[in-house]
Chain A
Amino acid sequence: MTGINRWLSGTAIASALAVTAGSAGAVELEVMHWWTSGSEAGAVQEFANAFNDRTDNTWVDGAIAGGGDVARPVMVSRILGGDPPGAFQFNHGRQAEELIEAGLMLDLTDVAEEQGWADVINPPSLLDACTYEGRIYCAPVNIHSWQWMWLNDATFEEAGVEVPTNWESFTETAPALREAGIVPLAVGGQPWQQNGAFGVMALALAGEEAWLAVNQDKDAEVARGEDYARAFQAFGEAREMADGVSVQDWNQATNAVIQGEAAAQIMGDWAQGEFAMADMVAGEDYECLPGLGDIAILDAGGDAFYFPQQSDPEVEAAQKELAALLLDPEVQVAFNSVKGSLPVRGDVDLGSVNECTQKGLQLLADGNVVPSGTALLSPDTTNSLNDLMTEFWNTPSMTPEDVQEQYAQIIEQAD
């Protein structure tokens, strides 16, 4: 498989070179990322086109297939090995912390000041995630949020109940759904999905204050407390509601909802692309509940580009040009409308968007936003929580009280 990937990316690079060989490219900038699915690849092409057309430089595409967990080690080994790419994609937050600490990343503060990033980036927490000791090291490009529940209207009709509007009414419909032979909740088997779903429930059911105390301040007492106990109880109920769908990937779970096998899924806004592909209309065929309909707050995570420190001043100039370009209003619209994510600038208009995206934009504009889990927790802590939540999910004998105590212990040790 790697052989084929290498060959594919090799030909991608070769063809990119062939196309642009004639132009007076000042610098060929290699950009590494893991956007390889249809809409992702189309979106990143928007960046490449803008970079090739509007500057003298050339975009050399370095796509790595297999997702972030495969791509990140490759990127890091390139940087440490002394052959850094011109730019690379990371989820912003704490994944690149150590690379910045080691002085391997280019300081973008002057670009940010010149372009006025501090004024246009909304929510500001995105820029905070790029800031390390007062200096800015990355350019955020999009917003993705976990805090959504997706419901298939037809399944509730079949079960003869109203489409629920929050988590409590959803749990009440569960027995009716079961009776109609529909699994109430679809959750994929991968650990990050179970931990992610719990994160959504914690924010929606335990409230913003408790969520921030646990995730931001690492307050284990709050994680042991009353508010979180509610979230763990609900997560235990969710475990029972999800019994009957055994799929792995998130999009298979989404598909179970689309097909009517399951009624609902807790998943980030990237799931909406699947509903769109199945020609379903938001508000008619499917519903979306931000924050499970209880507390409508979004967590703003997403992708960002980092620029490794280079010795050649020409390359550095090209890197800064690219950084500025990524946040250009036009480029933001072009990229995000293909990718299906929200732009990081509060001052651009995506044009006609559906009801769910509208809700999301409104919440962003109102400032109902918290930083994302990846920005607050180190990958180490996130991984430990993934392991714990998936163990709970697959061990029926494990009670919500057990898992709460172990969760609090991980938070206690978190750095």
Chain B
Amino acid sequence: MAVAEDAGSTGHRAAASSGAKRPSRLLRNPMSKIALVPMIAIALVVFLGGTVWTIVYSFTDSGLLPRLDWAGLEQYDRLWSTRKWIVSIQNLALYGFASMIGTLVIGFTLAALLDRKIRFEGVFRSIFLYPFALSFIVTGLVWQWILNPQFGVQGIVRGWGWESFSFDPLNNPNIVMWGLLIAGLWQGTGLVMCIMLAGLRGIDEDIWKASRVDGIPVWKTYIRVIIPMMRPVFVTALVLIASGIVKLYDLVVAQTGGGPGISSEVPAKYVMSAMFGSQNLGQGFAASSMMLLSVVIILIPWAYLEFGGKKRG
């Protein structure tokens, strides 16, 4: 991302100072390039090196210790014939889709409401952002208690006299993912709201004046004018949410432990339990390689559209 934008802006500068003799691109700003060397080395060794290593070892039958005994596609065969992995993928797809939409819609709505110059804005902003300061483990435990049928919401409503009221998502395999989603939204929307609010504050006051002069209703201004103008903000929010979804792990561990049964398992948890519970590194590597592959499949076309298009313009 940064590289692509950098290239774009250099292009502009180069165009502005065309005609002047410029040094070769590699040698320009040598000090900053030297300063970047450690970072580049770390990125290459840790990220790229680690990734390649993991993929290579996913084709072995490594157990507790990594070893280079080739097993071909055996680990992948086993991965895709394991019900727990299939359930994990389905759960992540459901959670990802719902959480992406939920976070964006709720986050934007809250931000838009806060932006209407209300009283005590700072107080509300702190309240909404506060859950983000908690770790997922804490969030998971808090919501485990809130959704506990005896002590939580169900118990309280029954205590009010509605005896047949039933709300017990964490013990029902069919809706347990929604129980997780509530907790995820509770934690995640605050940050998205703040990003959106910053975006809304960046919109020029004159736009609002113009739309008022033209007699366009407020909601229409938001949807037709403001949201399209906030495209970069939405992209930032989207990337943040998406990365949070793929690594969803600690919330599940704290809130449900993958249960009831295997109904709230997620891929990251599958990887962890294969690597450390089953002492089967090969299987864990195969699963994490699949996770990487799915991220890459989504990311590359998107990055191409997003940054490839800019150069043309």
Contacts and interface: CB of A to CB of B under 8 A. Distances in A.
A379 B279 contact: yes
A73 B276 contact: yes
Main secondary structure, interface of A, reads: helix
A98 B83 contact: no
Interface stretch (A18-26, A262-270, A388-396): A388-396
A189 B260 contact: yes
B96 to A, nearest CB: 22
15 contacts: A69-B277, A76-B64, A98-B279, A246-B171, A248-B257, A379-B278, A379-B279, A380-B278, A380-B280, A382-B278, A383-B273, A383-B277, A391-B83, A392-B261, A394-B261
A393 B261 contact: yes
B239 interface: no
Interface in B50-109: 63-65, 82-84
Given A1-B137, A98-B65, A395-B173, A390 B262 contact: yes
A102 B63 CA distance: 12
Nearest to B168: A246
Nearest to B150: A246
Contacts of A393: 261
A391 B261 CA distance: 4
B147 to A, nearest CB: 12
Contacts of B65: 80, 98-99, 102
A1 to B, nearest CB: 7
A64 to B, nearest CB: 13
B279 A378 contact: yes
Interface in B272-287: 273-280, 283
A73 B274 CA distance: 12
B263 interface: yes
Interface of A: 1, 69, 72-73, 76, 80, 95, 97-99, 102, 189-191, 246, 248, 378-380, 382-384, 387, 390-395
Interface-centre pick from A95, A98, A393 (highest chain B CB count, 10 A): A98
Contacts of A190: 257, 259
B149 interface: yes
Nearest to A79: B65
Contacts, number: 66
B83 to A, nearest CB: 7
A76 B281 CA distance: 13
B72 to A, nearest CB: 16
Contact of A98 (B63, B82, B84, B283): B63
Given A76-B64, A246-B171, A394-B173, A189 B259 contact: yes
Nearest to B258: A191
B137 A383 contact: no
Nearest to B63: A98
Nearest to A98: B64
Nearest to B270: A387
Interface string B227-264: 00000000000000000000000000000011111110
A144 B78 CA distance: 33
Given A190-B259, A379-B278, 12 more contacts: A98-B279, A99-B65, A190-B257, A380-B279, A380-B283, A383-B277, A387-B83, A390-B259, A391-B261, A393-B261, A394-B259, A395-B173
A414 to B, nearest CB: 12
A40 B274 CA distance: 28
Q: Which 3 A-B pairs have the closest CB atoms?
A: A394-B261, A383-B278, A394-B260
